[in-house]
């Protein structure tokens, strides 16, 4: 084989290897950048759930909403119960939007919310349905929160948790 052809083939192979390595590094950088962008958002939403006052207000919904007239639309719940329900439901609604927009990975939301969000949905659901019926629009009120609960309920939390901690141990 002609030495110039061999040299050209070697240069081509080296170029392809360099392109492959550069592509791998670029994809890793994109992945790391995406995770870095999620950290402030994740910390913010987890921090909002952390205060004892938020947790007390949510737990109060669990005990007080079942005592209310099941025919009431959400926006006719008595005060301050309505304000608590609105703030907590809006929190979950926002998390659902962040997942849908790809701002946070759904797995990042499922693990810390897999108990509280479905439990809260179970006590406000009837009032939300009544509100939607009053508006004559099934997608007019807290539908993203309902979707979040559907995602959580269809997830294998044990598997997600195991994968998370296995990945953490490897790093």
pLDDT of 19 reads: 76
Q: What is the pLDDT of residues 37-87, one digit of tens each?
A: 666 766 666 666 678 899 999 999 999 999 999 999 999 999 999 999 999
Q: What is the token pair recorded at 171?
A: 């790093």
Task: Tell whether the model's pLDDT for residue 13 goes beyond 60.
Answer: yes
> Are 60 and 124 contacting, i.e. CB atoms less than 8 angstroms apart?
no
| Inter-residue contact 151 to 106 (CB < 8 Å) | yes
Q: In three state form, how does the secondary structure of 11-49 look?
A: HHHHHHHHHHHHHHHHHHHHHHHHHHHHHHHHHHHHHHH
Tally Cβ neighbours within 10 Å of residue 26.
Answer: 10
- How confident is residue 116, by pLDDT bands cut at 50, 70 and 90? very high
Please determine, for residue 145, whether its predicted confidence score (pLDDT) is greater than 60: yes
Cα separation, 82 vs 84, in Å, equals: 5
Express each pLDDT in 104-115 by its tens digit. 878 878 888 899
Locate tokens 């509280």: which residue?
116
Q: End-to-end CA distance of the chain: give it in Å, rounded.
A: 47
pTM: 0.72
């Amino acid at each position: 084989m002609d030495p110039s052809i061999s040299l050209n083939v070697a240069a081509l192979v080296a170029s392809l290897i360099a392109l492959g390595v550069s592509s791998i590094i670029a994809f890793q950088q994109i992945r790391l950048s995406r995770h870095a962008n999620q950290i402030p958002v994740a910390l913010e939403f987890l921090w909002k759930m952390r205060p004892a006052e938020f947790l007390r207000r949510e737990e109060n919904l669990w005990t007080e909403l079942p005592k209310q007239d099941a025919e009431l639309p959400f926006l006719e719940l008595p005060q301050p119960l309505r304000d608590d329900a609105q703030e907590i439901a809006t929190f979950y609604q926002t998390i659902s939007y962040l997942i849908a927009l790809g701002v946070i990975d759904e797995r990042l939301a499922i693990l810390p919310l897999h108990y509280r969000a479905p439990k809260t949905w179970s006590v406000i659901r009837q009032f939300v349905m009544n509100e939607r019926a009053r508006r004559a629009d099934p997608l007019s009120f807290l539908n993203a929160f309902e979707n979040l609960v559907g995602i959580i309920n269809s997830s294998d939390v044990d598997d997600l948790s195991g994968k998370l901690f296995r990945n953490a141990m490897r790093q």
